[in-house]
Amino acid sequence: MSTQNKSEKTRKIIYWIFTLWMSLGMVSTAIVQLIKNKDELANFANLGYPAYLMSILGVWKLLGVTAILIPKRLLLKEWAYAGFFFVMSGAVISHLIVGDTASRTFPAVLLFALVIISWYFRPADRKISMTNY
């Protein structure tokens, strides 16, 4: 096996590990938000957000995970990653602004990092390039 093939295989393995981990995190937080879990309601209240935002974010997270995991639909994948980037960076910033502890902020930081790593390591067939148009 050539060095380039090993490198591509390694990148693909990294991509799938982090993408599945990110997807699991997004789906689990979406479910918690959609069922209006009392701890999540308290978290949203602490951050100064209305409870109805949980339903909006929960639905969008499920749709985003679907877009990222299905084959093709490259533009949709980019939009999903952008949405995850904004939601998770906003969550991290919100926790920092209200002075939350590291333990309350860490889940948002972890999901934000997973989004960035998944996006960065996505294989060529999951990236938009000028040849896709």
Nearest to 67 by CA among 57, 75, 76: 76
pLDDT digits (tens, 9 = 90+) for 49-89: 999 999 999 999 999 999 999 999 999 999 999 999 999 99
Would you say 66 and 89 are in contact if contact means Cβ atoms under 8 Å apart?
Answer: no
Per-residue pLDDT for 132 more than 60? no
Question: CA–CA separation, 71 vs 123, rounded Å?
Answer: 12
What's the token pair of residue 66? 């679907």
125 falls in which pLDDT band (50, 70, 90)? Answer: confident
Sign for the CA dihedral angle at 1, 72, 128, 126 comes to: negative
Question: CA–CA separation, 86 vs 80, rounded Å?
Answer: 10
pLDDT at 92: 98
Percent of the chain with pLDDT over 90: 83
Question: CA–CA separation, 23 vs 17, rounded Å?
Answer: 10
Question: CA–CA separation, 19 vs 69, rounded Å?
Answer: 8
Would you say 61 and 30 are in contact if contact means Cβ atoms under 8 Å apart?
Answer: yes
pLDDT at 5: 83
pLDDT at 124: 86
Would you say 33 and 54 are in contact if contact means Cβ atoms under 8 Å apart?
Answer: yes
Would you say 55 and 30 are in contact if contact means Cβ atoms under 8 Å apart?
Answer: no
